[in-house]
Amino acid sequence: MNEQRSFNYIITGLAGLVILLSGPLSARAEDQHPVFVAPGFQFNQVDSICVMPMIDARKGVTPFNLDGFRPDLMLKVAEKGYRVVDPSCSRDSGANAAQGAKWRWILTVRLDDFLVSKAEPSVAIGSLLTASLFDTQSAKEVWRDTAMTGFGGRFANNLLGNSLIGAVESGFGAVLAKFEKQKKPYPPSQATMWPPMSLSARLYKYHTFTECNGLLRFDSGTLSFDPSSNGKSDKKCASLRFSVQGAKFGAGMWLIVPKKGRFFLQQPGGAEVLYLDLALRSAR
């Protein structure tokens, strides 16, 4: 199955390269950023940010489901050095800033349009996104920027074989390019900001053949894993049971657990894994 998927990616990537070479470079990252900054606004005023669900602002088209992009967007903001408020700050798909009024700083990102290839109009080669920061204390927008993906995003989209998803994701870096980075990435915050969460997960023990299914929980800064029935591996999996503070994510989905080691985390609902990743970073 993995070999077939890799083969499909390669074929799609080669097809994408042909499309790129056959069409002009119509998608350009905008040179002047940001497009709006309120008088007196400084990024050092910003602490915790409520990242709203993305908005599909295109007109007269079938809506595109953007729900799954919110964790990736939250991760991008956290990488800029800001605390991100837990997802319960607003779970409404309408992304109305008023829904997150208990938090001062509200970030929304909207999809204005998809950019398509002139050589192949059915292929999305980028996206036009607008990011906006709202201050509920003054009830005003304080920062806004608009950007579109360029050549690099187009090639990546075709290589990954899912042009619509890739077109949106490749625009996050561009639209947040002038979102001023803080000096200390992933600043500590109270773990209690994040609601308790639990998810079915599979852990692979690093440098072993141990593979265990179970329930992974995060509550008030404590991460725990309770193995479920794993057949012949029940005894081995029982040894992986843990309840610790101070766990963290390494590269990819490697979960580093104090005194237990490294585990590769696999879970069907990728958004929940990213939320867990952000929660662990916020608990530091």
pTM of structure: 0.76
Which pLDDT score, from 0 to 100, does residue 186 have? Answer: 60
The residues, any chain, with a CB within 8 Å of residue 88's CB and separated by 6 or more, are 195
Crossing angle of helices 151-160 and 2-22, in 10° steps, is 150
What's the maximum distance between 2 C-alpha atoms anywhere in the chain? 66
Q: Tell me: the pLDDT tens digits for 90-112?
A: 755 455 555 555 789 999 999 99
Which pLDDT score, from 0 to 100, does residue 43 have? Answer: 95
Which pLDDT score, from 0 to 100, does residue 272 have? Answer: 85
Radius of gyration (C-alpha) of the chain in whole angstroms: 21
Task: Provide the 8-state DSSP code for 54.
Answer: P
Q: Is 63 exposed, middle or buried (0-12, 13-18, 19+ CB in 10 A)?
A: exposed
Residues of the chain predicted below pLDDT 50: 1-30, 93, 151-161
Q: Tell me: the pLDDT tens digits for 2-25?
A: 343 343 333 334 344 333 433 333
Q: Which domains does the chain have, with CATH numbers?
A: 2-175 (3.40.50.10610), 191-282 (2.30.29.30)
Which pLDDT score, from 0 to 100, does residue 255 have? Answer: 94
- H helix or E strand, kind and range, residue 13: helix 2-22
Integer Cα distance of 139 and 37 in angstroms: 15
Which pLDDT score, from 0 to 100, does residue 281 have? Answer: 81
